[in-house]
Structure formats: structure tokens, C-alpha cells
Structure 1
Amino acid sequence: MGVKSIVDVNNAEFVLTNLGKDRPIQWYSVGQPQAIEGTDWIVTVLDINIIDQRAIITVKNAATGVESDPITLEKSVPVYLYPVNGPLQYGTAYPGRADLVLTLVDTFIGINNNPYATIQAVTDRETETYWMWRGKNNFKINATGLEPGNYTYQVLLNLTNGNEIRLPERRVTLLGEPVATLKILSRPSNASVYIDGNYRGMTPLTLEIPSGNHPLHSRERDTKLTPQQ
């Protein structure tokens, strides 16, 4: 699985790309620890400045126990977090890999007159390096092992003349492997079902399998299996 892009260049250059999974934008109030959906990361907001559109937070990983010092988030400025020899480090310059990227989206006063901050999280940003040549270049970002969902990636061009070009971030949706719902009947009923040589249950049976051709058989003699989609 991968994400394909085309970049048109005039000089040979290295291209660095990073791909991270987008998490839903979440609302935070002061002093209320909240887990980032689908992760072990917990964010606690210590202070929210509505006028300066700034929030001070701490971040902790519930699985490892690693925790950050207070971090200042400014609106629309990504902060990259990554562990170094145990402690959780952070900064606004992309370090090549980040376990977590947090961006303050907005600060506002809620209907209960309490301040709130909305924060966008991206997890597991990786970097890959490509050598590119004059003209149009195809490259493919490796997405093997990533679960389906929305991801963000960015291309950083390091030109041979020493200049750097950072292209705008792009978002892409990775779809899971296509699946088909299969209903299997038999005559007589209550027959064992093997798909691709693996036991899957007894008839009547309904299950999801990857789309494509799959050998289907039963170990009972004189049994006819009837698959239906």
C-alpha cells in the first residue's frame, strides 16, 4: 500500500516525505485530562489565552508513562513530540520522525463562559528519502501496515544548490482491503466450512472475506456448499 505523487524538478535533489495519521479535532477545557481518540496519548490543558490564541498543555503516554514538560501551543503552528532516551522532547521543527504532532486550531469562550481550545492531533509521522532527477518524478510513500483512515503527508525538497522548498501539506484517505460479505448454505445443513484451507465455521454461515477468488470446501462427504453474495 502506498501514496503516489508526482513532483516536477529542474535539478537532482533529495525528497523527504512524511506520513502521519490524522486524528479527530477535539475540544479541551482547562484541567480536564483527555485521551486523543484511538491512542494512548493524554492531553491536559493548563491554561488557555483567548486573546493571544495560545494554550499551555502537558502530554502523557498512558502506555509508557512518558510525560512532557509544559508545552505552549500557538494557533496553526504544529508542535512535534518525540521521545529521546526516555524523556519526551518537542519543537516546531520537524525532526524526521514524530510520535505525535499537535496543532492548536482555535481558542474560544463556550456557552458556559469557560475557555476552550480545539486541538488537531497527527500520530506516527515517518520520513522517507528519495533521489530525484531532472523532469517529472514519480514516487510512492510507503504505507504498509497502516490502518485505514485519513493521513497527512508533506514533501520537503532539498535542492542540490542548497535551497530548501517545503510543499504544502496534503491529506489522503487510505482505504482498507476490499471485502465481500459471503453467505454460505449447504445441503445437508450444519456442515463445516473451510476457506483457503482454514476452518471458518458451520453452515449456515455469514462472514466477511477479502474480495477475490478463494477455495471453498467442506470435510463432510456428499455435502454441497452454496455461496451467496
Structure 2
Amino acid sequence: MVDAAASPAPTDAAAPAPDARQTIALVDDDRNILTTVSIGLQAEGFATRVYSDGATALKALLENPPDLAVCDIKMPRMDGLALLQKLREKSALPVIFLTSKDEEPDEALGLALGADDYITKPFSQRLLIARIRAILRRSELVRSEVEAPPHDSQPDAIRRGRLLMDPARHAVTWDGKPVSLTVTEFLILETLALRPGVIKTRNQLMDAAYNDDVFVDDRTIDSHIKRLRRKFRAADPDFGAIETLYGAGYSFADG
């Protein structure tokens, strides 16, 4: 249930919003939610695309990425968790999960797999729109800029040894090779790289990566760290800049 009036269900296509600057994909098998949320987002100036199953959505999200996806967990053909797992193999697209109150284990798994946030049903559209705007502000995923290489001349660029991060473009390279990170992964790495050699606890990394009202456990942060290492090792098999101090947390080795 959402706080907007229902109207005829939209089709699995882009809704007309010629003046929208950002596009939100909605993935849910509940046609009422697709309709009401789509109407609410269009009223806020977003363009929307809607999909009623995970398999159809996955193909569309990879072929024509929106700026952010809002995805239900329980769906036919491919559930939201499977969709996210396959999406993360090829894309850092920001994802917000919609979950039911009895799906807490799924919430934790979704965050561990790389979801950027989750909202529990029934929800307020005002809350959803606020979360969407917050993630879009954090990510600044303008695709033409993300694909461009970062430059040292950028005033906010962070260089640590072979790592170069450009927050303005949400871009990361290692030895000049691009590394695609999700919003959450980027924020965790940025927190570590800003103070190389300083140990950051899991709680500190949670605070940096998530909104105050999103609760994650230690295993979620550990999962993000594992994915970060895996992505950097794809660019450099000898990557070891993210160090673990068991029982304390993580640090970035500047060298």
C-alpha cells in the first residue's frame, strides 16, 4: 500500500516525462504499486519505466540503464535477489529494495549483495522519493561523466598510490584501469582512502555508507569489502591495499 491514488496500470515501457532529468525503473509484480509509484515519481519530475517480473527487468536494466531501480524482492520468473545478483555482475546501478516486514533475512542478504537501501511495505511515497533523491545525490550517476576517466585536476580527486577516485564523477581507477563500484562500495572505499593507515571500524563504515535509518550488521560490511577486493583484483591480481585488522576493522594501505 502506498499513499497515492490508483490509476490504470502502466505498461512495461518508459512513461512520458519529456522534462525529466533522471529515470527511475520500477520492478514489482503488484500492478497497483507500479501505477501509484510511477504517478508519484512523474509528479516529482522523474521519468519512469515499469517491469512486472525480474527476468524482463534484468534485460532492460542492462541494455538501457536508468539512473536508479526500485525493486520488489518477491516476484515471478526471477526474484529481486536473483535480479540484483545478476545485475551486479555487470552494473553498479543504484538499487532500492521494497520488502515486507517478514523479510528481514532477505533485507540483510539484499544489502550484502549490493543493494543501496531498502524500504519496508507498506511505505510512504514521500519516504521513497526522499530515499531516491538521497541516493541520486550521493551517486551523481551521470553516465557520460561516469564513463570519462578521472583527472588529477579535479579539486576533489583522491589519489592514494595507484588508486584515483573522482567523487564528482563517481569514477575510480587503479593503475589507470577503471573499476566500477556501487554507491555503497564507493563510499566505503572513500572513507578508507581519505585516511590511509587509519583503522575504520565496521560501525564507522556503516555510518559512512548508509542512511541513519538503515540498519545493517557486520557481515554486510564484510560482504562489501570482499566485493571491493574482488573488483580490484580483476584489475590487479596482486591488489592488497584494503587491509583487515581482525576484531577491529579495515584500513587502506597508501603505497
Which structure dedicates a bigger proportion of its chain to helix?
2
Q: Greater Rg, structure 1 or structure 2?
A: 1
Answer whether TM exceeds 0.5 for this pair. Answer: no
TM-score band, normalised by the shorter chain?
under 0.3
Normalising by structure 2, report the TM-score. 0.24
